Amino acid sequence: MPPLTDTLCLQCGLCCNGVLFADVRPEPGERSPLFAGRARVAQPCPAFQTGDCTCTIYAERPQRCRQFECRQLLGVAAGEIMVPQALRRIRQARKLAAKLESGLADLGFDNRKQPLKRRFEKCQRAAEQGGLAEAQYAALAELQLTMHQLTLLLAKEFYG
């Protein structure tokens, strides 16, 4: 049987693509080439391959990446969650994140090098400062609802 990381993580990538986390930070004595002297690396992680959800430096990934296991991964490993159920939750979270990505891009916040939540906050701030066109406020209201749904789902089903 393939390892669970193959079954789940290769369909997911939420802990690397800027949805669950805003950055990766080194542990003391960290040797991963990801950092190359940097105190942190912003997500989406530059080592993350969106197409197949793989890590280009997997064998040398940072300690924190090795240590993090989301609730779905832990739940399936413990026999408390069935694989199809975990995959459904992953698909659901990815769908909400994709909806947000696309909605934010439509509103002009399309810097995909920034973590999703940061882009969303920038959009909110712009709206508070009157920086959106009148017609865009309805789209933002829809995005706020989507962000709320995603935040609840991540808190309940993914953070360790």
Window of 8-16, 77-85, 97-105, 123-131 that interacts with ligand SF4 by CB under 6 A: 8-16
Between CA 29 and CA 61, with CA 26 as vertex, the angle to 5 degrees is: 95
DSSP single-letter state for residue 45? P
Residues 6+ apart with CB under 8 A from 124: 140, 144
Residue 34 touching ligand SF4 (CB under 6 A): yes
- Does 139 contact ligand SF4 by CB under 6 A? no
- Nearer of residues 49 and 102 to ligand SF4, judged by Cβ: 49
Find the part of the chain contacting ligand SF4 (CB under 6 A) among 62-70, 95-103, 116-124, 130-138.
62-70
Assess 45 for contact with ligand SF4 (CB under 6 A): yes
Judged by CB, which is closer to ligand SF4: 3, or 130?
A: 3
Q: Which of 22, 42, 55, 153 binds ligand SF4 (CB under 6 A)?
A: 55
Distance CA 149, CA 129 (A): 25
Which residues pair with residue 41 across a beta bridge?
24
Q: Smallest Cα–Cα separation from 5: which of 62, 81, 77?
A: 77
Q: Which of 18, 26, 70, 94 binds ligand SF4 (CB under 6 A)?
A: 70
Q: Which span (7-15, 101-109, 115-123, 124-132) binds ligand SF4, by CB under 6 A? A: 7-15
Residue 123 binds ligand SF4, judged by CB under 6 A: no
Residue length of the chain: 160
Lookup result for tokens 């508070």? 128
Compute how many residues bind ligand SF4; rule: CB under 6 A.
23
Q: Does 12 bind ligand SF4 (CB under 6 A)?
A: yes
Torsion of the alpha carbons at 115, 117, 122 and 126, rounded to the nearest 10:
150
